Chains A and B, each alone.
Chain A
Amino acid sequence: MTSAAAANSPVDGVLATASIVLSLLVAVWALVAAVRHRPPDRVQFIGLGVLEVALLVLSVLALVAVGGGDRPGEPGAFFGYLVTLVCLPPLAWVLARMEPTRWGSAIVCAVCLVAPVVVLRLQQTWEVLGG
């Protein structure tokens, strides 16, 4: 792809950065809860919900960009990461609901630490050829 495509990466912007920051904030909050022997609280579930909405919007933006003719550098990996990413908050949600102990908070923390990594990989797999 051209470098112009990379410059207009749909997964590298305010929303992506906000998702990463939000995910890390939820991770820290959940970690504190886990350390204090607290089960997942409303803040964690609301955080997961907002994170999921942000990630879904990010996915729609990416799909719109693809529909508009832009192509990720590594399409297979990109869409793999995209599908994985939007599944992470629901996974944390379900497991946290099943485990109303400190370990539920630990699960939310773990998943919210993985999500930012996946967002970064998403950005890398979009830009790999555009440089």
Chain B
Amino acid sequence: MVETRPAGRATNAGPGRLLIAVYLLFAIAATSRAGLQIATKFDEAPVAYLLSGVAALIYIVAAVGLARAGHTGRRVALACCSVELVGVVVVGILSLVDKELFPDETVWSQFGSGYGYIPLVLPVLGLIWLWRTRRSPA
């Protein structure tokens, strides 16, 4: 019940809670998909499946970072959103340029088109939200 707000506005209330909810959904989707792929057919596309696993991990950590709020939580969330944004753009470009690199779909392939481009929008919303809730300069 007690919420700590040491740095800036809390990242885990209001719109932030919606953001956390979407991050949770993606964490669940990416984790179960990657887990299944790695467990059952890892040899078919190791790079793609490992990437799915890494993406899943980042979604989980980002959700936790936003939910924990506070100074550390913000930095964790900031790092995750940045890595996500870079990841989805780089993998999106690579998957278009060299299809053989990712023979099977990942969350980030084609800029996340398989997931309604939400993987591309989500880190941007995350960064905007972190910016909006930053500590106002005294």
Contact = CB atoms under 8 A, between A and B. Distances in A.
Interface of A: 76-77, 80, 84, 87, 91-92, 95, 98-99, 101, 103-104, 106-107, 110-111, 114
Contacts of A111: 21, 25
Interface string B103-117: 000000000000000
Contacts of B17: 95, 98-99, 103-104, 107
B28 interface: yes
A84 B21 contact: no
A74 B29 CA distance: 16
**What DSSP secondary structure best describes chain B's contact surface?**
helix
B82 interface: no
B72 interface: no
Interface of B: 13-15, 17-18, 20-22, 24-25, 28-29, 32-33, 36, 39-40
24 contacts: A76-B39, A76-B40, A77-B33, A80-B33, A84-B28, A84-B29, A84-B32, A87-B28, A91-B21, A92-B21, A95-B20, A95-B21, A99-B13, A99-B14, A99-B17, A99-B18, A103-B15, A103-B17, A103-B18, A104-B17, A106-B18, A110-B22, A111-B21, A111-B25
A110 B21 contact: yes
Nearest to B36: A76
Nearest to A74: B36
Contacts of A95: 17, 20-21
A98 B14 CA distance: 10
A90 B69 CA distance: 23
Contacts of B22: 110
Nearest to A34: B18
